[in-house]
Structure 1
């Protein structure tokens, strides 16, 4: 006789089966909810991609001035094409570590005093390590009034490449607008920066137009994974019921 007092052909108590069924239902519901959430994320991502593609391909608009700065929003404004006129302050450029399609090197971030009276940082583009010295690319140090067209980007505070910015040592790993402005004594600057377009600079450097506009989109795979996991508890319960039925019939 079995230890619990049931005969060899006895099945599991009804309350045990009910408990297992409830647990399986809860697990399936949880996994299913995660699958639905991933589908919702997929819809949101596709909408974001469509909106960004529309901004990138649109005609440039004036770069937001001080009155509009409080309303600048990453979700609404990032990658919007903007244009502004003014003068570069090359003496205050900052080099930020970068890895691009052209290899490793630096972004050249230069303050730009607009003809509307405010300053904005412009990522003029990429330079390789051997051309980090401005004297090695003097032709590209545009003097006088010029126009910048590019994509509005939001600040990247903190650092990057798993390394924190070190303003005191002049080592920058992210385009942190506020920190760069403070380190260079620029005073108030726009809370965003502009990634310059591919308009060639004299001498070819810095090389602009290297902004990567790409978003990962694996949500459908994740959703299918969660839905598959949602089926496992049902399969497990079905297997347990079949085994229980055999034992009762045995």
Structure 2
């Protein structure tokens, strides 16, 4: 009987920790399938920009649009791994039908002296995106320098529709490097969480065995 309580405690603790690790493995498989679906959606054949795109249903939709760049816009401060601080160049594209669309052309490094926006007729291929980059710590814009891609606010400031095409390719090209949408920035840490829970289960097992050994020594 003296081993009953530590045995129950050990079994229950290990069962809970193993179940949490198994749940994380299921989440890992789910997230992997979701990322594969996003990647397939991003790289699909582009279509014309919908007349009234939906921010949820049309997120990452591949599109292609022809028009004229406005030649001015807003620079958004961002950071890219292995590149450093950059400015993303967001401008307008006026289509032959008269639609004014927001376009994220890509980036130049902050140290670049070139702050000009391209203008003229282009064909833009990219993906619709409504990035969630604004929170309570986001600084207010400083003139034409912004600190997040707030699509509704950008649309109001530039007189465009509240949708953003993140360019994958712009023809003809320019000195701005495209920074296309990808699933790279979407975290998938579930394997690490699973390893942590399974590791804690082993630690719990070791602690239970150690406790039972101590009880045995005291009663010997």
**TM-score (normalizing by structure 1):** 0.72
Counterpart position of 2:215 = 244
One of 13, 17, 22 as aligned partner of 1:36: 22
Among 88, 100, 120, the alignment partner of 1:143 is 120
| Corresponding pairs, count | 217
Partner Cα separation in structure 2 for residue 168 and residue 98 of structure 1: 14
Q: CA deviation at 1:205?
A: 1.8
- Which of 77, 85, 106 aligns to 1:97? It is 77
SS for the counterpart of 2:146 is: coil
Higher helix share: 1
What residue in structure 2 maps to residue 225 of structure 1? 196
The question of whether the paired residues in 2 share the 8 Å contact of 1:65 and 1:118 is answered with no
Which residues of 2 match residues 180-219 of structure 1 at below 5 A?
Answer: 180-182=154-156, 184=157, 186=159, 189-190=161-162, 192-199=163-170, 201-202=172-173, 204-214=174-184, 215-219=186-190
Q: State the shift of 1:18 in Å.
A: 4.0
Tell me, what secondary structure is at the counterpart of 1:238?
helix
Instruction: Give the C-alpha shift of residue 103 in structure 1.
Output: 4.4
Structure 1 residues 21 and 177: CA distance shift in structure 2, 3 A:
same
CA contact (8 A) 1:153 1:193 kept: yes
Q: CA deviation at 1:90?
A: 2.5
Q: Is the 8 A contact 1:157 1:177 kept in 2?
A: no
Q: Which residue of 1 aligns with 2:131?
A: 155
Unaligned runs of 5+ in 1: 1-13
Distance 1:102 1:224 in 2: 32
Q: Which residue of 2 aligns with 1:51?
A: 37
Q: CA deviation at 1:230?
A: 1.7
How far apart are 1:46 and its partner, in Å? 1.0
TM-score of the superposed pair, with normalisation by structure 2: 0.81
1:197 is paired with a residue whose SS is strand
Q: Is the 8 A contact 2:21 2:197 kept in 1?
A: yes
Selected match of 1:85 from 66, 75, 93:
66
Whose Rg is larger? 1
More strand by share: 2
Q: Give the direction of change, closer, same or farther, for the CA distance of 1:105–1:238 in structure 2 (3 Å limit).
A: closer
Deviation string, structure 1 residues 40-67 (Cα, Å, up to 9, x no partner):
221112102211221233211222322x
Summarize deviations over 1:84-120 as a string: whole Å, max 9, x none.
Answer: 22332233x1100133455433111012233455432
Are the structure 2 counterparts of residues 234 and 88 from structure 1 closer, same or farther at C-alpha, using a change threshold of 3 Å? same
Give the deviation of 1:39 after TM superposition. Answer: 0.7
The answer for the alignment partner of 2:50 in structure 1 is: 64
Alignment partners' CA distance in 2, 1:236 and 1:37: 23
